[in-house]
Structure 1
Amino acid sequence: MTDMTSRQDTSAAPPEELRVPVPGGELAVLRWLAADPGAPVVLALHGITANGLSWARVAHHLAGRVTLVAPDLRGRGGSGTLPGPYGIAAHADDTAAVVAALGLGRVVLTGHSMGAFTAALTAVRHPGLLSGLLLVDGGVGFPAPTDLDPDELITAVIGPAMRRLSMTFPDRDAYRAFWQDHPAFADAWSPWVDAYIQRDLVGEEPELRSSCRIEAVRDDGIDQLGEQVLGAVHRLPRPTTLLWAERGLMDEPQGLYDERRLAAADLDPHLVRPERVPGVNHYTILVGDEGARLVAHRLLAEAGLAETDMEV
């Protein structure tokens, strides 16, 4: 595995896990504290079948210069037992509840994949929360096939990530092997990736399963295609950058975005600045070393840190 480098030290303090009251129960929230209690706060939202620990490698590169807060969204990870209603607006309002409950004040808001759509809608619904905004391989809609039913469409987009929700695994090694065989992770396996995917498991051996509730993924996937969510990126209260991965969810050459799809999205160039990230796929833009390093660099810039502080 080419990404197992000497920089892969995971000795940084692990995140603390908090519980935040939201409608229907409590949201699990991971928090990596900054060395300076007065440091800026980044609130990071994960993808449709992910969890908050997907941001761990970004936290490593942030290196305590900001506080990073990453919830497990409703229906995933430590928030897997939270009931619906699901949908992007529900996640946006849960995000606002996290900011209020933890007294975070104004935050740099970011999201990956579905989390980017959630970040965009949160910015529209709760503009007073933001001090900065960064979208990572998501948040901008693109034409979808019209001949597929919703489950087929979601599976077509996210592939094995959707199919695994109905699978069981005899032990943690089997789940690890499932992900190590995924082409997007073939050259990017690391302790951070391992910890992130292991957080997803619930149940007992020999019937471990994903914590992601299939109804949450289905509802969120369908809602993500709706006018309210797709329109959010055109109504943002402040400019943002969209970092988009060159390669796709299966490490295929066609990523979620390309210049043609972005041109078709008719983005306001003063509001959204797309930036291609070469050499990464939909996952490694966040969990790979170079992708996480770039994301951390941009988050530090959004937090207003001086250029000399951004050697990530």
Structure 2
Amino acid sequence: MRPEAPAFEELTVAVPGGDLTVLRWPAAVSGAPTVVAVHGITANALAWGQVARQLAGRAALIAPDLRGRAASRTVRAPYGLARHADDVAELIGTLGLGPVRLAGHSMGAWVAALAAVRHPALVERLLLVDGAVTFPLPVGVREADALAAVLGPALARLSMTFPDRAAYRAFWRALPAFAAGWTAETDAYTQRDLVGTEPDLRSSCVPEAIREDGRQVMVDADAATAIHRISCPAELLWAERGLQDEPQGLYDPDRIEAAALDPTRVSVSPVPGTNHYSILTGEDGAAVVADRLVAERAVRE
């Protein structure tokens, strides 16, 4: 039986440039850990909805809409991974949460690693989900071309309009990564992205934010080295398939080995049967993420 979908509350936290919108799923038991969770480059806080369901109150889960996305789209520039990391620190401090278990998916994993480096007193442990390990661009490949190739339809949709919410739902459901695993939480996550009025609905993502954040994921040295500079225990979970459910994911054993992660600091675990999205939004992937978040310590393999 599926665990009951937990209710969440929506609040705001003042950060430089505006008010960051934050979702909070409360813990159901006294003494439960607190998790702050950071979404990916064109996502929003409800990307963590399935993880919240799988946690079933075993932890308090707090997830912001990053500046330039969803209900935080009006928070002004500058953007960039360090700015997001500092926003996360501001959230932790304002809500009196620290030290927390900090998680990040995709771009959010780079943000989480940077937050742990820039604000180590606020982070007790890291869970990095299919992100935070950077590889050099192939010779001759431009940053913009690389970002478009990696993100595919997720990036292309930012220049599209949709006549109604059903059309946006159909767009997402047709993508290979979601074809076999659509849930109520996936639906809520994708619908949260829409702004405007019919028949002119569009993604909430601010193009300038996506361009700057994507550029830094690709080439920023501070972001690339963050996973090697963290001082708290960390675990990297990686999906075996890619953003479009292709057989080659972002990572594989050879790429992980090439990254030369410190095994005393960062443990690494594959999550079989998942792609870049379903490792977070699918029931099986989210169950692994949730269990790792409430484990007594990072898993060593």
**TM-score, with length taken from structure 2:** 0.96
SS of 1:39's equivalent in the other structure is coil
SS of 1:95's equivalent in the other structure is helix
1: distance between equivalents of 2:114 and 2:13?
20
Letter aligned with residue 20 of structure 1: V
Letter aligned with residue 282 of structure 1: H
Structure 1 residue aligned with 2:104: 111
Relative distance call for 1:242 and 1:165 in structure 2 (3 A) is: same
1:62 to 55, 68, 72: 55
2:82 to 89, 92, 115: 89
2: distance between equivalents of 1:30 and 1:152?
33
- Does the CA-based 8 Å contact 1:108-1:303 persist in structure 2? no
Structure 2 residue aligned with 1:74: 67
1:302 Cα deviation after fit: 5.0
1: distance between equivalents of 2:207 and 2:54?
32
- Does the CA-based 8 Å contact 2:6-2:56 persist in structure 1? no
- Does the CA-based 8 Å contact 2:6-2:53 persist in structure 1? no
2:231 to 228, 237, 243: 237
- Does the CA-based 8 Å contact 1:29-1:52 persist in structure 2? yes
2:266 to 265, 272, 297: 272
- Does the CA-based 8 Å contact 2:41-2:210 persist in structure 1? yes
2: distance between equivalents of 1:303 and 1:76?
32
Structure 1 residue aligned with 2:184: 191
2: distance between equivalents of 1:159 and 1:279?
21
Deviates more, 1:142-151 or 1:89-98: 142-151
Relative distance call for 1:302 and 1:109 in structure 2 (3 A) is: farther
Structure 1 residue aligned with 2:193: 200
1:303 Cα deviation after fit: 7.2
Aligned length: 297
Q: How does 1:1-312 map to 2 (within 5 A)?
A: 7=2, 11-36=4-29, 38-224=31-217, 225-302=219-296
Residue ranges of structure 2 left out of the alignment (5+ in a row)? none
- Does the CA-based 8 Å contact 2:66-2:84 persist in structure 1? yes
1: distance between equivalents of 2:154 and 2:139?
21
SS of 1:256's equivalent in the other structure is coil
2: distance between equivalents of 1:31 and 1:289?
20
SS of 1:42's equivalent in the other structure is strand
Superposition CA RMSD, Å = 1.3
Identity among equivalent positions (%) equals: 59
- Does the CA-based 8 Å contact 1:247-1:254 persist in structure 2? yes
2: distance between equivalents of 1:42 and 1:133?
10
Residue ranges of structure 1 left out of the alignment (5+ in a row)? 1-5, 305-312
SS of 2:237's equivalent in the other structure is strand
**TM-score, with length taken from structure 1:** 0.92
